Amino acid sequence: MLTPFPLGRPARMAVLASGRGSNLEALLEAFPPGHPLGEVVLVLSDNPSAQALERARRRGVEALALPWRGRRAFEAEALAHLEARGVDLVLLAGFMRLLSPGFVEPWYGRLLNIHPSLLPAYPGLHVHRRVLEAGERETGSTVHFVDQGMDTGPILLQGRLPVLPGDTPETLERRVLFLEHRLYPRAVRLLLLGLAFPPSPALKPLLGEAFPLFQALPPREKPLYLRALALLRRWGQEALAPALFLGRAGEIGRAAFLAAHLLAEDHPALRQELKELPLEVRAPAEAELGRVESSP
């Protein structure tokens, strides 16, 4: 199976946060109680004085501190709470601890993190300072599936920003955070709608001769192809998957790639090109875009 989503019911989400919790706040706002796609039902923190806990409680969401007494103890407690609340999706938002393979593996595909750089560049800490020191012209943020490494899992969605003359680590942080507050909810929407998923062994038989091409793509390009594939499946055209990746799926393939781009980021030229496709391929693509964009 490529993805367990959509679930056919609102998803139950938990957020793990260690500090300020501004991304948590954005998620709480985007997925309030009663939201048809899903709601945040639990917030956990390894830090009892995290502002994140306050933010959740102020909105009436259950928030628990699990003070750090080592990884094994924290993970066992956290897992018990996630199971007890029937959580479907775990979102790390400024969670400053590395989770063990024993925690991560069973949640693979249902565990996301947000990191303030254009991964795979600049994993780890002090990102903005390192970006400035390296003289980068562009930075951004990445929502990714969590695997066993630090900030290494498959990319789900990225947002980009220019680095401007005179920027400091503080100005960059502010600008990237503002971007993140839109990026994370959008990534979660794509996941919950079944329009984003991590690479898995199920791809090989589906893609056939095109599989090596997919594997050779740079990590930042893979999510676009996976979204196009998700769209094709939704349209009952899964058999076209190898042709899609090889650029031989005709107008349906065109519509899938244009919509896959637009699901991540608006782009007037791409929208225009989509508009010029025949109605029968354009209409389903526009319907998918409408579902993501009209979602509160």
Which residues 33-52 are close enough to bind ligand GRF by CB under 6 A? none
Stretch that binds ligand GRF, among 22-30, 60-68, 79-87, 279-287 (CB under 6 A): 22-30
Check residue 169 for interaction with ligand GRF (CB under 6 A): no
Which one, 125 or 239, has the nearer CB to ligand GRF? 125
Applying CB under 6 A, among 22, 45, 47, 237 the residue interacting with ligand GRF is 22
Check residue 97 for interaction with ligand GRF (CB under 6 A): no
Distance CA 115, CA 120 (A): 10
Classify residue 236 as left (phi > 0), alpha (psi -120 to 50) or beta. Answer: left
Check residue 237 for interaction with ligand GRF (CB under 6 A): no
Which one, 17 or 157, has the nearer CB to ligand GRF? 17
Check residue 158 for interaction with ligand GRF (CB under 6 A): no
Stretch that binds ligand GRF, among 69-77, 110-118, 224-232, 254-262 (CB under 6 A): 110-118
Check residue 21 for interaction with ligand GRF (CB under 6 A): yes
Stretch that binds ligand GRF, among 15-23, 230-238, 243-251, 260-268 (CB under 6 A): 15-23
Applying CB under 6 A, among 20, 85, 220, 222 the residue interacting with ligand GRF is 20
Least Å from the CB of residue 116 to ligand GRF: 4
Told to judge if 115 belongs to the known catalytic residues of this protein, a careful annotator would answer yes
Least Å from the CB of residue 241 to ligand GRF: 33
Which one, 3 or 141, has the nearer CB to ligand GRF? 141
Chain residues in the site for ligand GRF (CB under 6 A): 17, 19-24, 93-94, 114-116, 141, 177, 180
Report, as residue numbers or ranges, the catalytic residues. Answer: 115
